[in-house]
Amino acid sequence: MKPFILLCTLLAFLTGCQKDTADPSGDGVLAGSFRLEVDPVRCALPTTQRVTIHQVSDDIYRVEYDRFGSGSYKLAGVVAKKNSATAFELFVDDQPVGQYAFEELRTINGSRKTWVLSIHYHVDQTENLAFMGVKE
């Protein structure tokens, strides 16, 4: 049974860590649609391939995601605090859940600087969100 679970985990990891191309410049605006782009150095098992972020008010956002087609989920009340010209920290209920920052993204074809969204919310619960990606 253990080899089967290990094989399933390996397959999920390889499926989640596909390489996609992205606009290297990005735009620095948090609202929009993002797709999975995995940095092999920081790769973790993602729970979705795409997220959409909607701006609710000045610095409050709502994240929508689908958990690989298993249903529609929302993470509301995400607060973005700009901590520099090239980075936003994301919080839910005053707890850090991720960041949107201009940083180096490493891929098989080399490295490039781009805006990267990274969210890890309730990773130990059923409706968790684990995502790292770039704007579509």
* CA separation for the pair 17, 20 (Å, rounded): 9
Question: All domains of the chain, ordered by start, with CATH?
Answer: 29-135 (2.40.128)
> Cβ(51)–Cβ(34) under 8 Å?
yes
pLDDT in tens, 10-55: 444 444 454 444 444 456 899 999 999 877 777 668 889 999 999 9
Query: Which of 40 and 128 is assigned the larger pLDDT?
Result: 128
Tell me, what's the pLDDT at 19? Answer: 45
Mean per-residue pLDDT of the chain = 81
Report the SS3 class of residue 93: coil
Measure Cα distances from 34 to 11, 37, 115 in Å: 23, 9, 11
Model's pTM, two decimal places?
0.77
* CA separation for the pair 120, 47 (Å, rounded): 10
Tell me, what's the pLDDT at 26? Answer: 58
pLDDT band at 9 (very low <50, low <70, confident <90, very high): low
Amino acid occupying residue 65: Y
pLDDT band at 82 (very low <50, low <70, confident <90, very high): very high
Among the residue ranges 82-86, 96-100, 122-126, 131-135, the one predicted with the least confidence is: 122-126
Unique residue bearing structure tokens 């994301």: 90
Tell me, what's the pLDDT at 98? Answer: 95
